[in-house]
Amino acid sequence: MSLTTVSQLQNLIHNQIGTHFRQPETENIPVAQSVGRVLAQDIVSPINVPNANVSAMDGYALAHHAATGDVLRLVGESAAGHAFSGNVGQGECVRIMTGAVVPEDCVAVVIQENTQTDEQGNIVLTKNVQEKQNIRYAGEEIQANHQVLQKGRILRDADVLLLAALGVGEVVVYRKIRVAVFSTGDELVEPSQPLSGSSQIYDSNRHMLMARLTSLPIDIIDLKRVEDNLESVMRVLNDAAKMADVVITSGGVSVGDYDYLRQAVEQIGHIHHYKVAMKPGKPFVFGQMMQAWYFGLPGNPISGFVGFDMFVKSALWQLCGVVEIPQPLRLQAALSVPVKKSAGRMDIQRAILTRQANGNWTVAPCGSQDSHRILGISRANAYMILPLESENLAIGDVVEVQPFAQAFLD
């Protein structure tokens, strides 16, 4: 039986969640605290932007068009937050600042660089001025009752700027979904504790998962480590499925004598998928237990890390109520070294992506690609994604690369 391809599994997960999707409840939160949350209703602008006719420049507001040499009497000033409330007639003008309300009688603004002041304090034009010049009209950018943000959007800091400018102080967002996390393995020890024997290792995968979940609108339920026996695994899985929307586990999904998770999930719920044609990360379990979705990541550290990126993260965004699920940036880069590969599985290698002086990108594997080696993932700044049908590659061959967003922050 052929293995499921990466794209097939991604589609399977997306379709299963879409078919059985339960929309999260909603809550109101301050707009300043909304970055990274998912909008639960469309946002319609309550005001025009600009809210009134305002000046685009510092200068003088005129009640009519004017020509070079015209002399205008200054009758007042309009500043931001302090509009001029008087009348402006023929041969008169008002000093005005950028963003200030244009007086009702005025039809144009001349910039101050195109004026001079005579001995009597009058304003003399040095350039012609046409009607509507240098005025931003009410509703020119956004009209009241116009939709500006759509339900299902992941709110960004730029959205906070927009919403606050519209006078929106609170937004309705979906509540954070609950994700339970635990690892299996009698050999695992908490990072803060000493190792008591050569057979013990630190529980890195669970901490990695919890760290990565913090970037999503999620409440994490840490169920720690579960002992390697079916009874313990069944008990914790059953409890997790009752308290969480999603359960993510590390380890125990392969075919070893002590890998009980698949058996336990099948007894509590249903497994939709087991193995994927991907290296690293061939064992990957996706299923359901009662109302909870289940993702079983392999115990090899890099296999779990890659599996989270390829399958889990987008599924979590979907469950959070996102309409347009974020897609990772992919670009093309030329190999700077030869790469060995056998056909049959997509190979996702840790890599170093480099931009050359001419603007072109080059890429090379970052150290050994064994799935238990952890130093390379810390030093890498990208995945090199080699399709399942590709074989050995030579220097200069162009491959697809997925940069790590955190490695390219400004």
pLDDT band per the 50, 70, 90 thresholds, residue 410: low
Phi/psi at 230 (nearest 5 deg)? -60, -40
Residue 352 pLDDT? 97
Indicate the burial class of 372 (C-beta count within 10 angstroms; 0-12, 13-18, 19 or more): exposed
Which of 70-74, 176-180, 217-221, 295-299 has the least mean pLDDT? 295-299
Site of tokens 């020509």? 67
Position 257 scores a pLDDT of 46
Q: How many CB atoms lie within 10 A of CB 270?
A: 10
Task: Say if strands 177-184 and 246-250 run parallel, antiparallel, or are unpaired.
Answer: parallel
Which residue(s) pair with 79 in the sheet? 82
What does the pLDDT look like over 136-146, one tens digit per residue? 999 999 999 99
Region 200-210: mean pLDDT is 94
pLDDT number for residue 292? 97
Q: Where do the domains of the chain lie? A: 6-25+176-320, 28-49+142-174, 54-136, 331-407
Please state the rounded mean pLDDT for residues 242-254: 90
Residue pLDDT, tens place only, 336-347? 999 999 999 999
| CATH number for region 54-136 | 2.170.190.11
Is a pLDDT exceeding 90 seen at residue 251? Answer: no
pLDDT (tens digit per residue) in 38-77 = 999 999 999 999 999 999 999 999 999 899 999 999 999 9
Q: What is the mean pLDDT of residues 263-276?
A: 92
Say what the pLDDT of residue 196 is: 87
Mean pLDDT across the chain: 94
Residue 2 has pLDDT above 80, yes or no: no
Model pLDDT for residues 376-409, shown as the tens digit of each residue:
999 999 999 999 999 999 999 999 999 998 887 6
**pLDDT tens-place string over residues 182-191:** 999 888 999 9
Other C-beta atoms closer than 10 Å to the C-beta of 324 total: 10
Residue 258 has pLDDT above 70, yes or no: no
Digit-coded pLDDT (tens) for 287-311: 999 999 999 999 899 999 999 999 9
Q: How confident is the model at residue 255 (pLDDT cuts 50, 70, 90)?
A: low
Distance of alpha carbon 184 from the chain centroid: 30
- Look at 122-136, 162-176, 261-275 and tell me which has the smallest mean pLDDT: 261-275
CATH class held by domain 6-25+176-320: alpha beta
Give pLDDT tens digits for 93-123: 999 999 999 999 999 999 999 999 999 999 9
Distance CA 318, CA 333 (A): 30
Whether the pLDDT of residue 215 is over 90: the answer is yes
**Distance, C-alpha 140 to centroid of its chain:** 30
Q: Which CATH superfamily is domain 28-49+142-174 in?
A: Molybdopterin biosynthesis moea protein, domain 2 (3.90.105.10)
Count CA atoms closer than 13 A to 104's CA, side-chain side: 3
Phi, psi for 233 (deg, rounded to 5):
-60, -45
- CATH topology for 331-407? Beta-clip (2.40.340)
Residue 110, pLDDT score: 98
